Structure 1
Amino acid sequence: MTVGEMLAATVPMARTLNLEFLETTGERAVLRLPDQSEFHNHVGGPHAGAMFTLAESASGAVVLAAFGEQLGRAVPLAVKAGIAYKKLAMGPVTATATIGRPAADVVAELDRGERPEFCVNVEIRREDGAVTGEMAITWTLRPTA
């Protein structure tokens, strides 16, 4: 099962918004929110909540891809998130998430018995390439034992 299939199966909002998982690696995840009138805002573009969910889902995809081998001993959790809406988003939008520091450093903290935190940065773009939003999400790997 791919990361996209796993998220679609376990996160109802990803299914509800019909998010498309275009790329998922341990370094980067790219998700697309199709243009869907039922998720538009008052000016005809994607609702801010839909764009937030797109970006948060992209961050979750890269986190699962990077730390999937740690799921037996730690649970990935979003700790906090901030989003900046930069330009009007119209039509389909794409979110690209990248982890802010090497995964090996995060795992080393987990190995030492710590609860590591790390940032995932996300850019949301229109089809013309314009950045419509930026999100920074702090994640943790909470040890299960």
Structure 2
Amino acid sequence: MTFDVGDLMLQSVPFARTLGVSFDKVEPGHVIARLADRDDLHNHVGGAHAGVLFSVAETASGATMLSVFGDQLSRATPLVTNATIRYSKIAKGEIVAEARLQATREEVVARLDAGERPEFDVLIEIRTADGTPVSEMTVTWTFKSRR
């Protein structure tokens, strides 16, 4: 099964399209997403709104999940079960979210094959375009069997 993960994310997640998320890099288990700075996405102090940071990071985590497990969509639905985010600095300017899978494909698929509902984390570093870290997020995903 071959597909463009970035295109699939933007087709299947209308909110990511609405925000204007784009993808700089999509490799198995590693994604870099980007969001241009826009006044309508700012908070009361002129930086990116906390919900915007969360959303671009969650989108990057979804693309990371798809980059490794996209071939499993015919038998299982991916769902977020938990997300934690730590905001450390006001995010001024363009936002970059770099996501990395924290599990191996083999362990997750083996649990799915065994009839379990596997959970796995994606860690996302959120920074400004100049590389300044502004937030960190962990998203926990699961697969719900379609049977």
Please confirm whether the aligned pair reaches a TM-score higher than 0.5, indicating the same fold: yes
How far apart in 2 are the matches of 1:33 and 1:46?
10
Cα offset for 1:128? 2.1
1-structure distance, mates of 2:11, 2:4: 11
Q: What amino acid maps onto 2:106 in structure 1?
A: A
Q: Runs of 4 or more off by more than 6 Å in structure 1?
A: none
Q: 1-side partners of 2:66 and 2:106: how far apart?
A: 14
TM-score w.r.t. the length of structure 2 is: 0.95
Task: Report the equivalent of 1:13.
Answer: 15
**Over residues 23-71 of structure 1, what are the superposed CA-to-partner deviations in whole Å (9 max), with x where a residue is unaligned?**
1122101100100111111111111111100000000001011101111
Note if contact 2:48-2:90 (Cα within 8 Å) is conserved in structure 1: no
Matched residue count: 145
What CA deviation, in whole Å up to 9, does each residue of 1:60-116 have, x standing for no partner? 001011101111111110001010001111000100111111111100111111110
Q: Percent identity?
A: 46
Within 2, Cα distance between the matches of 1:86 and 1:130? 10
136, 141, 145: which is aligned to 1:134? Answer: 136
Q: State which drifts further: 58-67 or 5-14.
A: 5-14
**Who is 1:34 aligned against?**
36
Q: Tell me, which stretches of 5 or more residues in structure 1 are unaligned?
A: none
Gaps of 5+ in 2: none
